[in-house]
Amino acid sequence: MASSGGFLFGYDSGLMGAIITFASLQEDFRYGKGVATKTNSLVVGIQQAGAFVGCWAISLIAARYGRRQAIMVCSAVPLTHGLPAFYVGRVVSGLGLGGSSVIISVFSSENAPKEIRGRLGSFYQLMYTFGIFTAYWVDYAVAKLMVPVTHCPAALLGIGMLTVTESVRWLVQQGRHEEAWESLTWIRADDSEETRAELKEIQVSIAEEQAARSGFQYRELLERDNFKRLSIGVIVFLCQQSVGATALAYYGPQFFKILVGAGPSNLLLTAIFGAVKIVACGTFVLFFAERIGRKSALIGGGVFMSICMIIITIVTKVRPPPGGGVVTSSGIATVALIYANIMAYNFSWGPLPWPIVSEIFPARIKVGVATGVGSQWLWNFMYSFSVSYMMAAMNEYIFLFFGVADIFVVLFTIFVLKETRGLSLEEVQDIYSSDPATTKRFSGASVPGSEVETASIDKAGEKAEPV
């Protein structure tokens, strides 16, 4: 339910990518073809600017009122009309999307058992692809209309969060141990000794984290290991945006126009593109997320995507589409390569950056997660705003640009990232630390002069002996 915020993000992204090609948009908002590139860039990109602000602002609400309330706040989306109001609405909806992307990741990781943390962390990306899939087919169905189809997913997220309980870890942080016990037994559907032991472990962990964060100052982020983690979190999402999949999601019909020429089939090809995305991402999340190494998946995905993009550039340059709706073998080949490319993305750089960034930061600098996710929206804005201009200037060479970017992404993965599949959060900190003693201090494993005490909860929900 929480990850339906990813559906909202994908639905909006897919919807706008096609709507900006509709003649009805130009007619309703009264702008000419001479400013179409500028308008398209603003319509798509300005929302990401709002999301960049929102992912930081929402932390204040989440800390005080809880993860559940914060997600509900993020689901608010305005109804607007007229081009200036439309821009404002895009920014405001971006605030909600950006905030939800941070809080949903935190909410999921705080409630997930470590055995399936990677799978649940990837559900946001799965719901994102499902949102794009739905939007593409809505676009195909209403190509001649301009209808208010953007608000139902936001309402689903806001109302749906009423059906779930608050984050167990946040409740423990607030000292609300009985509510934490009730929430944990609800989400685990179990009140056995194993669940009580899990609550005790969470209580001890929270006490250690609070001790670890005591006296934290932001300048600590510039310390060697902290700055390294911060840089990795930022660059991982730069890599995710640089492989070209987000650009394809936003500007699908325009990309297919480069491959097969202008024609009504572009919306259909984009809709099929969305179906391929969801099948690939769903297959990965449900069957492969916890079975293959994350680093191996990122390297393999990057290499495969690079090969696809480079071949597309060559074929499109040698055999350009004839136009007029004529389908050629080279056009079919390039479309197939685009579909293969997006399958590789959804087995690698689509779902994996989210759990990777959420787990590399120790408790003392957990603010780094917001920094990493916030940078995702910055890079998203950069590409969503510039791709329209890039396509106008580069034409088929835009595929070569993404193919070369894939090579740099692979090199970054080989030389910088570590394998973290199946490791506990403490073990992840060890492999990213140059000083094991520093790792222990950051994780709260050893706090000199202190004795961690926390109340456990018995089966009836009452306080028992301290741990």
Residue 316 confidence (pLDDT): 93
Closest CA to 398 of 380, 410, 383: 383
Q: Is the dihedral of CA 379, 94, 132, 146 positive or negative?
A: negative
Q: How confident is the model at residue 79 (pLDDT cuts 50, 70, 90)?
A: very low
Long-range CB pairs of 25-34, under 8 A, 24+ apart, other chains included: 25/146, 28/146, 29/82, 29/83, 29/86, 30/83, 31/83
Locate all alpha helices (DSSP H) within 326-396, ordered by sequence. 329-345, 353-359, 367-394
Query: Contact 421/440 with Cβ under 8 angstroms?
Result: no
pLDDT at 89 over 80: no
The whole-model pTM stands at: 0.72
Q: What is the pLDDT of residues 279-333, one digit of tens each?
A: 898 888 888 877 888 899 999 999 999 999 999 999 999 998 876 666 788 989 9
Distance CA 203, CA 196 (A): 11
Evaluate whether residue 258 is within a structural domain. Answer: yes
Task: State pLDDT tens for residues 358-378.
Answer: 888 887 787 787 788 788 888
- H-run or E-run covering 457: strand 455-457
How does pLDDT run across 23-49, given as a tens digit for each residue?
A: 666 677 766 666 677 777 777 777 777
Task: Determine the pLDDT at residue 450.
Answer: 37
pLDDT digits (tens, 9 = 90+) for 142-198: 655 544 555 666 777 778 888 888 888 889 989 999 999 999 999 889 999 999 998
Assign 340 to helix, strand or coil. Answer: helix
Does residue 416 carry a pLDDT above 90? yes
pLDDT, tens digit, 9 for 90 and up, residues 206-232: 888 788 778 888 888 888 888 999 999
Question: Is 21 within the bounds of a domain?
Answer: yes
**Is 61 part of a structural domain of the chain?**
yes
Q: For the range 262-270, what are the long-range contacts, defined as Cβ-Cβ under 8 Å and sequence gap of 24 or more?
A: 262/323, 263/323, 263/324, 263/325, 264/325, 265/325, 265/327, 266/21, 267/18, 267/136, 267/139, 267/140, 267/143, 268/140, 269/335, 270/17, 270/18, 270/136, 270/139, 270/140
Three-state secondary-structure class, residue 456: strand
How sure is the predictor about 435, in pLDDT bands with cuts at 50, 70 and 90?
A: low
Q: Shortest CA distance to 370 belongs to which of 189, 11, 135, 105? A: 105
* C-alpha 46, offset from chain centre: 18
* The one-letter amino acid at 251: Y
**H or E segment at 464?**
strand 463-466
Q: Of 88 and 181, which is predicted with more confidence?
A: 181
Whether 79 is in a domain gets the answer yes
Q: What is the DSSP letter of 177?
A: H
C-alpha distances (whole Å) from 399 to each of 23, 149, 308 are 27, 32, 9
**Is the residue at 398 inside a domain?**
yes
Contact assessment for residue 157 and residue 5, using Cβ atoms and an 8 Å cutoff: yes
Residue 441 clears pLDDT 70, i.e. is over it: no
Q: How far apart are CA 103 and CA 80, in angstroms?
A: 26
Lowest mean pLDDT among 105-109, 132-136, 237-241: 105-109
First to last CA, the chain: 34
What residues are paired with 457 via a beta bridge?
Answer: 463
Lowest mean pLDDT among 58-72, 393-407, 415-429: 58-72
- CATH number assigned to the domain comprising residue 429: 1.20.1250.20
Rounded to the nearest 5°, which phi and psi values hold at 151?
A: -105, -20
Q: Which domain holds residue 430?
A: 4-164+215-434
- Is residue 53, in this structure, part of any structural domain at all? yes
Give the helix ranges, DSSP H, for 243-293.
245-250, 252-260, 265-283
Gap between the Cα atoms of 214 and 444, Å rounded? 10
The three-class DSSP label of residue 338 is helix
Residue type, 463: K
Distances in whole angstroms, Cα of residue 105 to Cα of each of 22, 118, 193, 353, 359: 34, 11, 28, 11, 11
How many domains, in total, are found in the chain? 1
Burial, 99: exposed, middle or buried (Cβ in 10 Å; 0-12, 13-18, 19+)? buried
**Per the domain annotation, does 460 fall within a domain?**
no
Is residue 252 a part of any domain in this protein? Answer: yes
In this predicted model, which residue has the larger pLDDT, 199 or 152? 199
